[in-house]
């Protein structure tokens, strides 16, 4: 089921999430809903708070990246897998280690911030320990765009949005759009209360 994507200004995007404790049918259903919502919104990744669930999980599908010529290198549990087998990735209760030596600056966007893009610094290689929908533990090591996506989605679970990582000197470039989006979100939430 496609769910509504939460937008900038909603409290759930500022909260630190709770861990997933029960790996039951509802978690599998939430994972399916998140993947479907990500595809519908044409995203590369989506975190649970973005579908109004304050839980430690996110989904990513690197097959959806714009530049499919650039290699997408990663290992899961020490093995190199084809993207069609590894994706979509569902990461539950993730723990992130920034293991890269380089910091890269690239433009990022977010489904919770439609039409807003800004440059963000991220480490180039990460290690992610996580559980799948059955509670089985895995280790992902990835780099470049995949590592950036993992860091972006992991941030959502800490109540951090990509705009919180934009340098102060660059935030002024998107400030007007942010204020407009926050007003739209506030008006939408008010209209929902009045129903």
Do 105 and 121 form a contact (C-beta atoms < 8 A)?
Answer: yes
Query: What residues are paired with 121 via a beta bridge?
Result: 105
* Structure token digits, residue 143: 């780099």
Which residues sit opposite 106 in a β-bridge?
A: 120
> Tokens 């039409």, residue?
115
HSE-CB of 11 using CA atoms within 13 angstroms: 1
Residue 184 is a catalytic residue: no
Is the distance from CB of 110 to CB of 91 less than 8 angstroms? no
- List 10, 153, 175, 184, catalytic entry: 153
- Hey, which residues are catalytic here? 153
């Amino acid at each position: 089921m496609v769910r509504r994507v939460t937008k900038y200004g909603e409290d759930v995007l500022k909260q630190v999430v709770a861990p997933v404790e029960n790996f039951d049918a509802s978690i599998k259903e939430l994972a399916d809903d998140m993947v479907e919502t990500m595809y519908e919104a044409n995203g590369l990744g989506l975190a649970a708070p973005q579908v109004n669930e304050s839980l430690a999980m996110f989904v990513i599908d690197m097959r959806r990246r714009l530049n499919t010529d650039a290699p997408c290198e990663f290992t899961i549990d020490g093995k190199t897998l084809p993207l069609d087998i590894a994706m979509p990735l569902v990461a539950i209760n993730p723990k992130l280690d920034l293991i890269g030596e380089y910091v890269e600056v690239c433009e990022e966007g977010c489904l919770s911030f439609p039409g807003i893009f800004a440059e963000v610094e991220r480490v180039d290689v990460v290690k992610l320990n996580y559980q799948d929908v059955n509670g089985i533990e895995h280790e992902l090591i990835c780099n470049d765009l995949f590592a950036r996506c993992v860091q972006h989605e992991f941030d959502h679970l800490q109540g951090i949005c990509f705009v919180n990582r934009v340098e102060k000197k660059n935030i002024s470039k998107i400030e007007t759009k942010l204020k407009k989006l926050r007003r739209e979100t506030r008006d939408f939430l008010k209209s929902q209360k009045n129903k």
